[in-house]
């Protein structure tokens, strides 16, 4: 049990140190509110998919990334394969760089992509 | 939101308990602390899982749950070209195509090279008309055009208007939920929970799982009243596992699958004593492009164009295969295209733009640098360093075959090309196979019951459907023939569980 606590503590410490080095500037407010404002399931766990939706609305996001005509279904927030259901963390990582899920199979270019 | 938060807190408590009393797959009834209970538990949200979910609700199942380990639903099923072979449909009649379930089974048995399961193929083909109707009831929309896939004696691959499996998955997922099916993503299947007799009582699930982080989330035990359906798909993305079966499938060969296709369900069923069948028969897609990841857009382009196009070797400028032979024949031959140092030298699919432009895939492959347009044979030869004269001769010869209606080089079924000649301008795509489908898996019977290796009888409470099952297609699966089978056996599993 002792070693488990040490391990967990180590995880928390390394995670927070890591977090400080890898912050998205547009999430400054969230950092000011404390790590728990996103890490709703505990510091040693990934935030729930709902955590991001406390501030981001999927319909608004879909509107912001809407594409026209034959590219309409390439909207990462409203795609042909997953509709509006692709969870945020499948494409976005706060503390580690990621790329859009669509790009695993398609040569899509998302110039405004924030990892 | 409040509900979800309190639910999560409950989950954390259950996880702590789980850590103190770890449950093995052999846990007996009395030892297990159950966190949840459903009539029917379905693991995997692809074709088989969702068809089972919809059918179970149609048969008035009280509680049905679908667990999906990934963040997104649909697995591999949502990524493919959205084709499904049905024999004897109204659309075929409208287009003047004569076909039957019997003929479809015959084609599949031929590609199976003597080791396919006639009874499972027949069961699937005969359920075809029900599947075709049920998918339409869910809101699936089919194109008016039917695709000629390799190895078939009649044109029968019906395709969703999206030209993607998403055209099945999205409406079926919506329908399942409307019927009251619970769906949970980030829930990974870990173990079967069985009693001392080996009967399946439920499953252990890792709730809150994030792919690639194997310890994420917490373990919960979920009990079933009627049965567990494992519909977890294949192991195409598990390079170690696939190389253990077929050493030629190194990392050099890509994979069209969703990245969750790692064989978890299969491996757990093997541990529970299920019978493995044909694990070494792993199929690569001969229509894939090395110029994009996964299934991409190139597959749709080549599938449309193979009947009236030629594939040529860059060293010789000549054809090397029947472009609509079955997949194994083509993939094996494509993999042999090498430069003088033995490195991959992908073949070239040369299509006439006049015909290619009739399919929406052409715009996509050109836009995303998966194929390129050339005004002349000379331009192709110069760009890809192909010997010009043999290439010119090959195209001339080919156009002669089109005129005569026979292909003396490789015996291609020339009626599939509808008399279309290969003329400039050309669209050219590179071809390199990618691991696409695992014919092998665990053995089921025509009730979708999982057969025990030791006794040859079904394991009580355990059902499987889709790519995780094996032996149905034998050596080579024909294109568009997995989707109808996944759907048919998902439906069958639901019926069997409701009768159990």
Active-site position among B327, B330, B430, B477 = B327
User: What is the pLDDT, as a whole number, of residue A112?
Assistant: 81
Any domain includes A96: yes
pLDDT digits (tens, 9 = 90+) for B95-140: 999 999 999 999 999 999 999 999 999 999 999 999 999 999 999 9
- Selected residues 79-108 of chain A with any CB under 8 Å from a CB in chain B: 80-83, 85-87, 89-90, 101, 103-108
- Who has greater pLDDT, B157 or B16? B157
Q: Label residue A9 by pLDDT band (50, 70, 90).
A: very low
Residue B11 pLDDT > 70:
no
User: What is the pLDDT, as a whole number, of residue B207?
Assistant: 96
B287: nearest Cα among B375, B414, B157? B157
What 3-state DSSP class applies to B160?
A: strand
Nearest CA in chain A to B217: A45
8 A C-beta contact, residue B460 and residue B481:
no
8 A C-beta contact, residue B75 and residue B45:
yes
Alpha-carbon gap: A29 to the closest alpha carbon of chain B (Å): 21
φ, ψ (nearest 5 deg) of residue B213: -120, 85
d(Cα B134, Cα B457) in Å, to the nearest integer?
31
What 3-state DSSP class applies to B363?
A: helix
DSSP state of B251: T
Q: Label residue A62 by pLDDT band (50, 70, 90).
A: very high
Nearest CA in chain B to A87: B71
d(Cα B247, Cα B423) in Å, to the nearest integer?
40
User: What is the pLDDT, as a whole number, of residue A8?
Assistant: 47
Contact A107 B79 (CB under 8 A): no
φ, ψ (nearest 5 deg) of residue B200: -85, 125
Q: Identify all chain B residues contacting A96, using CB atoms and an 8 Å cutoff.
A: none
Overall average pLDDT of the A73-93 stretch: 94
DSSP, residue by residue, chain A: -HHHHHHHHHHHHHHHHHHHHS--GGGHHHHHT-GGGT-TT-TTSPPPHHHHHTT--HHHHHHHT---GGGGGG-TTSBTTTBT-S-GGGT--SSS----GGGGT-----TT---
Tell me the two tokens of residue B263.
């064989």
Q: Identify all chain A residues contacting B208, using CB atoms and an 8 Å cutoff.
A: 41, 45-46, 48
As beta bridge partners, residue A83 has A79
Alpha-carbon gap: B293 to the closest alpha carbon of chain A (Å): 4
- Who has greater pLDDT, B30 or A33? A33
- Selected residues 16-75 of chain A with any CB under 8 Å from a CB in chain B: 40-42, 45-46, 48-50, 70, 73
Contact residues for B329 (Cβ-Cβ < 8 A; gap 6+)? B321, B322, B476
Q: Identify all chain B residues contacting A41, using CB atoms and an 8 Å cutoff.
A: 8, 12, 208
Alpha-carbon gap: B238 to the closest alpha carbon of chain A (Å): 16
Tell me the two tokens of residue B208.
């809150």
Lowest-pLDDT range of B23-32, B275-284, B308-317, B350-359: B23-32
What 3-state DSSP class applies to B154?
A: coil
Q: If one looks up domain B4-282+436-499 in CATH, what number appears? A: 3.50.50.60
8 A C-beta contact, residue B401 and residue B409:
yes
Tell me the two tokens of residue A115.
């990892």
Tell me the two tokens of residue B395.
């195209």
Tokens 């059902």, located at residue: B463
- Who has greater pLDDT, A71 or B222? B222
Number of domains in chain A: 1
Q: Identify all chain A residues contacting B79, using CB atoms and an 8 Å cutoff.
A: 81, 105
d(Cα B107, Cα B17) in Å, to the nearest integer?
54
Q: Identify all chain B residues contacting A1, using CB atoms and an 8 Å cutoff.
A: none
Contact B162 A73 (CB under 8 A): yes
**Does the predicted TM-score (pTM) go above 0.95?**
no
Contact A82 B162 (CB under 8 A): no
Tell me the two tokens of residue B50.
């969702």
Per CB distance under 8 Å, which residues of B are interface residues toward A?
Answer: 1, 4-5, 8, 12, 70-74, 78-79, 162, 164, 166, 169-170, 185-186, 208, 210, 213, 216-217, 259, 291-297, 360, 363, 368-370
Overall average pLDDT of the B365-382 stretch: 97
Domain that residue A73 falls in:
2-104
- Taken in order B241, B243, B245, B249, is the CA torsion positive or negative? positive
User: What is the pLDDT, as a whole number, of residue A21?
Assistant: 58
Report the largest interatomic distance among the alpha carbons of chain B, rounded to a whole angstrom: 77
DSSP, residue by residue, B100-134: -HHHHHHHHHHHTTT-S-HHHHHHHHHTHHHHHHH
Tokens 């993999």, located at residue: B335
B290: nearest Cα among B362, B344, B327? B344
Nearest CA in chain B to A89: B71
Contact A80 B210 (CB under 8 A): no
d(Cα B458, Cα B446) in Å, to the nearest integer?
11
Residue A13 pLDDT > 70:
no
Residue B19 pLDDT > 80:
no
Residue A28 pLDDT > 70:
yes
Residue B10 pLDDT > 70:
no
Contact A101 B72 (CB under 8 A): yes
Overall average pLDDT of the B257-270 stretch: 96
8 A C-beta contact, residue B220 and residue B207:
yes
Residues of chain B within CATH 3.50.50.60 domain(s) are: 4-282+436-499
- Who has greater pLDDT, B370 or B12? B370
B327 is catalytic: yes
8 A C-beta contact, residue A98 and residue A108:
no
Contact A101 B8 (CB under 8 A): no
Q: Label residue A69 by pLDDT band (50, 70, 90).
A: confident
A90: nearest Cα among B78, B80, B210? B210
**Residue to substitute from A74, A92, A106, interface B, most B β-carbons within 10 A:** A106
Chain mean pLDDT for chain B: 93
As beta bridge partners, residue B305 has none
Contact residues for B66 (Cβ-Cβ < 8 A; gap 6+)? B42, B43, B44, B45, B49, B50, B53, B176, B181, B182, B183, B184
> CATH number of the domain at B287-432, out of 3.40.50.880, 3.30.450.20, 1.10.357.140, 3.90.700.10?
3.90.700.10
What 3-state DSSP class applies to B418?
A: coil
DSSP state of B469: B
From residue A114, give the alpha-carbon distance in Å to each of A96, A99, B370, B400: 11, 9, 26, 54
Tokens 């080919």, located at residue: B398
Residue A84 pLDDT > 90:
yes
8 A C-beta contact, residue B458 and residue B445:
yes
Any domain includes A71: yes
Alpha-carbon gap: B432 to the closest alpha carbon of chain A (Å): 15
Residue B49 CA to chain centroid, in angstroms? Answer: 13
Alpha-carbon gap: A59 to the closest alpha carbon of chain B (Å): 17
pLDDT digits (tens, 9 = 90+) for B70-91: 999 999 999 998 999 999 899 9
Overall average pLDDT of the B20-40 stretch: 69
Any domain includes A39: yes
Any domain includes A72: yes
User: What is the pLDDT, as a whole number, of residue B305?
Assistant: 96
From residue B91, give the alpha-carbon distance in Å to each of B87, B143, B215, B485: 10, 9, 49, 20
pLDDT digits (tens, 9 = 90+) for B317-328: 999 999 999 888
A89: nearest Cα among A61, A60, A47? A47
User: What is the pLDDT, as a whole number, of residue B252?
Assistant: 86
Contact B12 A42 (CB under 8 A): yes
Residue B9 pLDDT > 60:
no
Nearest CA in chain A to B13: A41
Residues of chain B within CATH 3.90.700.10 domain(s) are: 287-432
Share of chain B above pLDDT 90, in %: 89
Any domain includes A98: yes
Of B217, B363, B368, the CB nearest to A107: B368
As beta bridge partners, residue B431 has B347
ipTM: 0.84
User: What is the pLDDT, as a whole number, of residue B1?
Assistant: 34
Per DSSP, chain B holds a count of helices (H) and strands (E) of 16, 20
Overall average pLDDT of the B384-393 stretch: 98
Alpha-carbon gap: A54 to the closest alpha carbon of chain B (Å): 9
């Amino acid at each position: 049990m002792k070693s488990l606590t040490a391990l967990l503590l180590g995880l928390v410490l390394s995670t927070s140190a890591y977090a400080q080095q890898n912050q998205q500037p547009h999430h400054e407010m969230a950092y000011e509110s404390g790590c728990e404002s996103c890490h709703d399931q505990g510091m040693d766990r990934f935030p729930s998919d709902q955590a991001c939706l406390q501030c981001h609305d999927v319909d608004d996001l879909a509107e912001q990334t809407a594409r026209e005509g034959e590219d309409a279904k390439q909207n990462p927030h409203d795609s042909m394969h997953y509709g509006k259901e692709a969870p945020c963390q499948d494409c976005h990582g706060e503390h580690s760089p990621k790329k859009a899920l669509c790009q695993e199979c398609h040569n899509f270019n998302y110039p405004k992509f924030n990892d | 939101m409040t509900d979800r938060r309190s639910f999560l807190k409950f989950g954390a408590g259950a996880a702590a308990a789980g850590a103190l009393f770890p449950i093995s797959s052999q846990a007996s009834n009395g030892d297990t602390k159950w966190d949840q209970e459903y009539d029917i538990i379905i693991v995997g949200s692809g074709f088989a899982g969702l068809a089972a979910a919809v059918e179970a609700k149609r048969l008035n199942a009280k509680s049905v749950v679908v667990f999906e380990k990934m963040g997104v639903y649909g697995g591999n099923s949502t990524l493919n070209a959205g084709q499904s072979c049905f024999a004897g449909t109204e659309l075929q009649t409208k287009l003047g195509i004569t076909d039957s379930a019997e003929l479809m089974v015959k084609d599949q048995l031929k590609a199976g090279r003597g080791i396919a399961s006639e009874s499972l193929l027949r069961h699937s083909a005969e359920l075809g008309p029900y599947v075709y109707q049920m998918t339409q009831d869910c809101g699936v929309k089919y194109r008016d055009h039917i695709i000629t896939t390799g190895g078939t004696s009649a044109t029968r691959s019906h395709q969703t208007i999206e030209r993607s499996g998403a055209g099945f998955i999205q409406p079926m997922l919506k329908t399942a939920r409307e019927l009251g099916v619970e769906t949970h993503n980030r829930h990974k299947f870990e173990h079967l929970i069985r009693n001392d007799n080996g009967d399946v009582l439920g499953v252990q699930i890792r709730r809150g799982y994030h792919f690639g982080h194997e310890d994420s989330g917490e373990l919960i035990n979920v009990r079933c009243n009627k049965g567990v359906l494992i519909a977890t798909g294949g192991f195409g993305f598990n390079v170690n596992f696939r190389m253990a079966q077929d050493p030629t499938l190194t990392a050099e060969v890509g994979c069209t699958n969703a990245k969750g296709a790692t064989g978890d369900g299969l491996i757990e069923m093997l541990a529970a004593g299920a019978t493995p069948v044909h694990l070494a028969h792993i199929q690569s897609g001969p229509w894939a492009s090395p110029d994009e990841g996964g299934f991409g857009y190139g597959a749709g382009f080549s599938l449309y164009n193979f009947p009236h196009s030629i594939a040529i070797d860059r060293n010789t400028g000549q054809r090397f295969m029947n472009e609509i032979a079955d997949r194994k024949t083509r993939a094996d031959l494509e993999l042999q295209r090498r430069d003088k140092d033995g490195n991959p030298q992908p073949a070239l699919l040369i299509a006439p733009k006049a015909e290619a432009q009739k399919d929406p895939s052409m715009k996509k492959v050109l836009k995303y640098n998966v194929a390129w347009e050339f005004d002349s044979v000379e331009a192709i030869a110069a760009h890809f360093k192909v010997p010009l004269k043999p290439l010119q001769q090959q195209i001339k010869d080919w156009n002669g075959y089109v005129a005569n209606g026979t292909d003396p080089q490789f015996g291609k079924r020339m009626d599939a090309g509808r008399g279309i000649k290969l003329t400039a301008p050309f669209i050219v795509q590179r071809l390199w196979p990618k691991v696409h489908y695992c014919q092998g898996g665990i053995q089921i019977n025509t009730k979708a019951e999982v057969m025990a290796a030791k006794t040859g009888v079904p394991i009580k409470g355990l059902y499987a459907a889709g790519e995780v099952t094996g032996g149905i297609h034998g050596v080579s699966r024909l294109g568009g023939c997995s989707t109808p089978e996944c759907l048919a056996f998902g439906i069958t599993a639901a019926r069997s569980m409701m009768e159990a």
